[in-house]
């Protein structure tokens, strides 16, 4: 791939996370790809059947994804992700109950650029934003978690990695083929942003446009976006939104 490639990112744990050092997000990049992962935190007291924590799963999954991408594998992103999930499963199948529906899981977002096209994959709620040279915005999102009939623990458990529900990277390699996938002509992509929901809420929760979000990433950088979101999170009224007040947050911007 010709031309200068610039990738900037920031990845921070939630400010109220205990212990503070634990971050269940991860961002990884190479010459022609960026990966963003967001581990799903189980409610307190839930038995996952796994001796490992969510951060372990995220780190192992990221490592398995990076190897073929750095090796310039010709496989599709879905095949690469399916193989990565299978490899992580094999790493702890003898010590953990992989049939437990509450086993640790993660979102996955990947962008890979070639000479002629840009390939993307989004599994669960970590969106990708593409901006064209003429400033058109395309948001690639997997919104199936937002379409669940209710958000009780029992319903989320029942519909995780099930048809009619939502899909995440956990113990089922087939989830990779349920991801939102596609390609865009390389000349139609100038800037790519990858975000976990702790950062994408700048647009999804707090009313800014995706155009504004990408502009902030460009001008002030990923850390500035996370800082803005943190301020909004702190000042939001209790009960205003579904989910946690604070979350791990990752933002990456790639100027191709």
Q: What are phi and psi of 40, to 5 degrees?
A: -95, 120
Tokens matching residue 225: 């976006």
DSSP helix, strand, coil percent of the chain (3-state; round to 5): 35, 25, 40
Tokens matching residue 224: 């500035």
Tokens matching residue 170: 């956990």
Helix, strand or coil, per DSSP, at residue 214: helix
State the alpha helices, DSSP H only, in the chain: 54-70, 77-92, 153-159, 197-204, 210-220, 222-235
Model confidence over 173-208: pLDDT tens digits?
999 999 999 999 999 999 999 999 999 999 999 999
Model confidence over 16-33: pLDDT tens digits?
887 777 899 999 999 999
Pick the CATH number of 6-255 from 3.60.40.10, 3.40.50.300, 3.40.50.1220, 3.10.620.30: 3.60.40.10
State yes or no: pLDDT of 1 exceeds 90. no
Model confidence over 47-80: pLDDT tens digits?
999 999 999 999 999 999 999 999 999 999 999 9
State yes or no: pLDDT of 2 exceeds 60. no
Model confidence over 136-162: pLDDT tens digits?
999 999 999 999 999 999 999 999 999
Tokens matching residue 161: 């990695």
Domain limits of the chain? Answer: 6-255
Q: Is 51 exposed, middle or buried (0-12, 13-18, 19+ CB in 10 A)?
A: exposed
6: enclosing H helix or E strand: strand 6-12
Q: CA 102, CA 171: separation in Å to the nearest integer?
A: 10
Which residues make Cβ contacts (< 8 Å) with residue 238, sequence separation at least 6?
A: none
- Residue in the structure block whose two tokens are 């929901």: 197
Give 247's pLDDT tier (boundaries 50, 70, 90).
Answer: very high
Helix, strand or coil, per DSSP, at residue 114: coil
Q: CA 239, CA 84: separation in Å to the nearest integer?
A: 37
């Amino acid at each position: 791939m010709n031309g200068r490639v610039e990738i900037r990112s920031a990845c921070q744990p939630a400010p109220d996370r205990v212990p503070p050092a634990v971050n269940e997000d991860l961002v990884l990049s190479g010459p022609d790809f960026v990966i963003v992962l967001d581990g799903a935190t189980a409610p307190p007291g839930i038995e996952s059947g796994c001796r490992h924590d969510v951060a372990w799963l995220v780190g192992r999954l990221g490592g398995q994804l990076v190897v073929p991408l750095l090796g310039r594998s010709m496989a599709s992103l879905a095949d690469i992700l399916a193989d990565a999930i299978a490899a992580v499963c094999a790493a702890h199948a003898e010590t953990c109950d992989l049939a437990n529906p509450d086993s640790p899981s993660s979102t996955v977002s990947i962008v890979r650029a070639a000479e002629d096209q840009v390939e993307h994959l989004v599994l669960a709620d970590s969106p990708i934003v593409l901006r064209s040279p003429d400033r058109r915005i395309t948001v690639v999102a997997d919104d199936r978690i937002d379409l669940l009939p209710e958000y009780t623990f029992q319903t989320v458990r029942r519909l995780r990695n099930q048809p009619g529900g939502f899909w995440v990277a956990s113990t089922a390699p087939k989830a990779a083929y349920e991801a939102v996938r596609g390609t865009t002509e390389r000349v139609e992509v100038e800037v790519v942003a990858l975000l976990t929901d702790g950062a994408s809420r700048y647009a999804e929760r707090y009313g800014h446009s995706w155009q504004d979000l990408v502009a902030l990433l460009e001008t002030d950088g990923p850390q500035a976006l996370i800082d803005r979101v943190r301020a909004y999170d702190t000042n939001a009224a209790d009960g205003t939104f579904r989910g946690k007040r604070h979350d791990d947050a990752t933002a990456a911007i790639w100027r191709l």
